Structure 1
Amino acid sequence: MKTRVLGRTGATISEIGFGAWQIGGSWGDVSEEDGRRALHAALDSGITFIDTADVYGDGRSEKIIAAVLKERGGEKPFVATKAGRRLNPHVADGYTGANIEAFIDRSLANLGVETLDLVQLHCPPTEVYYRPEVFGALDRLVTKGKIRHYGVSVEKVEEALKAIEYPGVSTVQIIYNIFRQRPHDLFFAEAKKKNVGVIVRVPLASGLLSGRIGKETVFAADDHRNFNRHGDAFDVGETFAGVPFEVALEAVDELRALVPADMPMAQFALRWILEQDAVSVVIPGARNAAQAQSNAAASALAPIDDATMGAIAALYERLIKVHVHQRW
C-alpha cells in the first residue's frame, strides 16, 4: 500500500482509504457483521485512513469503527468524521458553535476517543462558506482539544475554492471520478499551492464504475441508488455522480474497451484518480471483505498510459460533461 501526506495535517496515510458510508446505511442490506469484516479486511490490506459521518446509520458506522479498532488494538488508523447533517432543517443558520460542538461530542462518544483526528463540515449550504464565524468556532474546538484538525466536505468546486481561503481548513473532501472531472481543472492546483489535503469520495460513481450495474439491476428500497436518483433526499450528485443512469451505462460500456482484460474496472477507476498527485486519499466504500481487499489492491497498479488517459478525457467530453461539469 502506497502512502501520501494528508495536506496540512502532516499525517502520512494510505492512498486508498475506507469509506464507511456503506457500513452505516442507505446502501441496502449491509449487516453489522459484514461491515466489521469489510473494515477488518481493509485494515489488514494496509489501509490507514477511515472516513465516516455521524449520520451514517445515525451513528452506526462510527460505533462499528470504534468496536473494530478496540478489538484490534495496536496503532490506530486516522479516522475522519463529519458533522452538520443532523440539523433539521439543514440550513446555514444551524451551523452555530453550540450545535457543532454538540455534534462533535456525540461523535467522540460514538468513536470512543477523547480527540477526533479530523472533523469535516458535512456538505453544508453554500452560504456557510461565507461565514467566518463558523470556522472560528472550529478553531476554538481545536484549542479545546476536541478535534485535531478540521476540513470540509463539499458538493461544488466553488465551495472548495472558498473553503481553502480559511487558514484552518486542512482538508477538502470532494467528488472526483471518471464521470466528475471538473476538480482537476483548477481546484487541485489551488489545493496543492495551499497544502490542503484532498479526500476523494464517490470514486466509483455509486458502483457504476465497477462495471457490474446494468439496466436490469434492482436496488433495495433503502438504497440511495433507488430513492435519491432525482435528488429527493440529498444532492443528486451523490448518487451515480449526478449522471443520468442511461447515459452513464452507455459510457461504462465504452469504457470497458479501455480497461485491461485482467483488471477489474473498479480498480482501474481508482487508479485513474490516483494519477492526480493533488489527491491525498481516495475513499471507496465496501459492502464486504472481498470488495475492501479489491479496492486496496488498486494501490499496486501501474500508472495508466497517456493514450488511455486521453481516451477517457474524450469520452467525458463527448458523453458526460454536458450533464455535470457546470452543475458542480
Structure 2
Amino acid sequence: MKKRRFGKTDVMVSEISLGTWQLGSKWGDPFDAKVAQETLEGATAQDINCYDTADVYQGGASEEAIGQYIKTLDEKPFVITKTGRRLNPHVAEGYNEENIRYFIDDSRKRLDVESLDMVLLHCPPTDVYYNPDVFKLLDTLKEEGKITHYGVSIEKVEEGLKAMEYEGVAAIEVIFNMFRLRPLELLFEQAKKNDVAIIVRVPLASGLLTGKYTKKTTFSPGDHRTFNRNGEAFDKGETFSGVDYELGLEAVEELKKVFPNQNLAQIALRWILMFDAVSTVIPGASKAEHIISNAEAAELPPLTKKQMKAVEDIYNKYIKDPVHYLW
C-alpha cells in the first residue's frame, strides 16, 4: 500500500484507509464483534495503517473494537476519531468546554489511549467555525496531552475554508467523489497552501458508485439510504452525496460506458487518488473482502486525461445542478 503525507502532522498514512461507520455490521444491523475483528485484521493484511471512527459509531463499539485490536499490533495505526454528534440537540452552544472535555475523555477510555492521534469535530453547525474559543480549547487539550492533532469534518466547503484560519487545524474530512466535485474549486488549493491533510469520506456516494444498485434495490429500514434521502435525520448530503437516487443511477450507467467491464468502485477510488491534495480515502467495509477490493484500487494505473474529462462531463450533465451549489 502506498503512503501519503498527512499534512502538517508529517505522519505517513495509507492512501486507502478504513472508514468504520459500518465496522462490525451493515447499516442498521446490530454490532458484531467477530466481524469487526475480521475487518480490522483484513485492513492490517492490506497494509492499511489509518482508521477513521467516531464516538457515535455503533454507540461507541467501533472505538472500543479498534482500541482492543490495536493493542495486538506491533506497529500502531493512526486513528482518527470524531466528536460532537452525541450532543442532543446538536447545536453550536453544545460545543463548550464541559461537553468537549467529556467526549474526549470518553473516546480516550474506549480507545484505551493517553492521547488521541487525531480528533475531528464531527460536522458541527456552521456557527462553531466562527467561535475561536472552541479551537483554543482544542489547542489546550493538545498542550495537556489528551489529543495529538485535531481538525474538522465538514459538510460545506465554506466551513473548511473558515476552519483553515485556525493554525491548529491539521486535517479536513470532506465528501468528495465523482458526484461531488466542488472541493476541487478552492478547498483543495487552500489545503495544500496551508499544509492541511484532506481525508475523503463518502467516496462511493453511499454505494451508488459501486454500480451495483438498480431501481429495484431496497435497503433495510435502519439504513440511512432508506430514511435520510431528503435529510430527515441528518444532512442529506451524507446519503448518496445528496444526489437524487434515480438520477444517480442514470449517471452511473454513463460512467459504465466510460469504464466498460471494470470494477466501478475501484475506478471511483482511483479517480480520487488522482488529486494530490488528498491524503487518504476512507471507504467503509462491512466484510474483509471489501477491504481487499478497496486496497486494489490504489494499484490501478492512473486514469487518462480523456477519462477524467468524461467523468467531469457526466457530472456537469447529470449532477452539478443543484448538488454543486448546496455544499
Q: How far is 1:217 from its partner?
A: 1.1
Distance (whole Å) between structure 2 residues aligned to residue 35 and residue 221 of structure 1: 22
1:143 aligned residue: 143
Runs of 4+ more than 4 Å apart: none
Distance (whole Å) between structure 2 residues aligned to residue 107 and residue 141 of structure 1: 13
Percentage of identical aligned residues: 54
Distance (whole Å) between structure 1 residues aligned to residue 10 and residue 56 of structure 2: 27
1:154 aligns with 2:149: no
Count of matched residue pairs: 326
Distance (whole Å) between structure 1 residues aligned to residue 306 and residue 285 of structure 2: 30
Secondary structure at the aligned position of 1:59 is classed as: helix
After TM superposition, the score normalised by the length of structure 2 is 0.98
Aligned-residue Cα RMSD (Å) equals 1.1
Secondary structure at the aligned position of 2:294 is classed as: helix
Q: How does 1:1-328 map to 2 (within 5 A)?
A: 1-23=1-23, 27-29=27-29, 31-70=32-71, 72-261=72-261, 263-328=262-327
Distance (whole Å) between structure 2 residues aligned to residue 323 and residue 243 of structure 1: 9
Relative distance call for 1:24 and 1:33 in structure 2 (3 A) is closer
Relative distance call for 1:226 and 1:4 in structure 2 (3 A) is same
Relative distance call for 1:310 and 1:168 in structure 2 (3 A) is same
AA of the residue aligned to 2:259:
V
Q: How far is 1:24 from its partner?
A: 6.1
Mapped contact 1:202–1:284 kept (Cα < 8 A): yes
Distance (whole Å) between structure 1 residues aligned to residue 180 and residue 157 of structure 2: 11
Distance (whole Å) between structure 1 residues aligned to residue 182 and residue 26 of structure 2: 26
Unmatched tracts of structure 1, length 5 or more: none
Distance (whole Å) between structure 2 residues aligned to residue 234 and residue 211 of structure 1: 25
Q: How far is 1:26 from its partner?
A: 7.0
Q: How far is 1:31 from its partner?
A: 2.9
Q: For each residue in 1:130-162, what CA deviation from the matched residue of structure 2 results, as whole angstroms up to 9, or x when unmatched?
A: 000000000000000000000000000000000
Secondary structure at the aligned position of 2:160 is classed as: helix
Q: For each residue in 1:222-278, what CA deviation from the matched residue of structure 2 results, as whole angstroms up to 9, or x when unmatched?
A: 1111111111111000000000001000001111112252x3111100000000000
AA of the residue aligned to 2:171:
T
After TM superposition, the score normalised by the length of structure 1 is 0.97
Distance (whole Å) between structure 2 residues aligned to residue 24 and residue 280 of structure 1: 25
AA of the residue aligned to 1:59:
G
Secondary structure at the aligned position of 2:101 is classed as: helix
Mapped contact 1:80–1:119 kept (Cα < 8 A): yes
Secondary structure at the aligned position of 2:303 is classed as: coil
Q: How far is 1:179 from its partner?
A: 0.3
Q: How far is 1:73 from its partner?
A: 2.2
Distance (whole Å) between structure 1 residues aligned to residue 109 and residue 252 of structure 2: 42
Secondary structure at the aligned position of 1:280 is classed as: strand
Distance (whole Å) between structure 2 residues aligned to residue 260 and residue 7 of structure 1: 35
Distance (whole Å) between structure 2 residues aligned to residue 110 and residue 11 of structure 1: 23
AA of the residue aligned to 2:7:
G
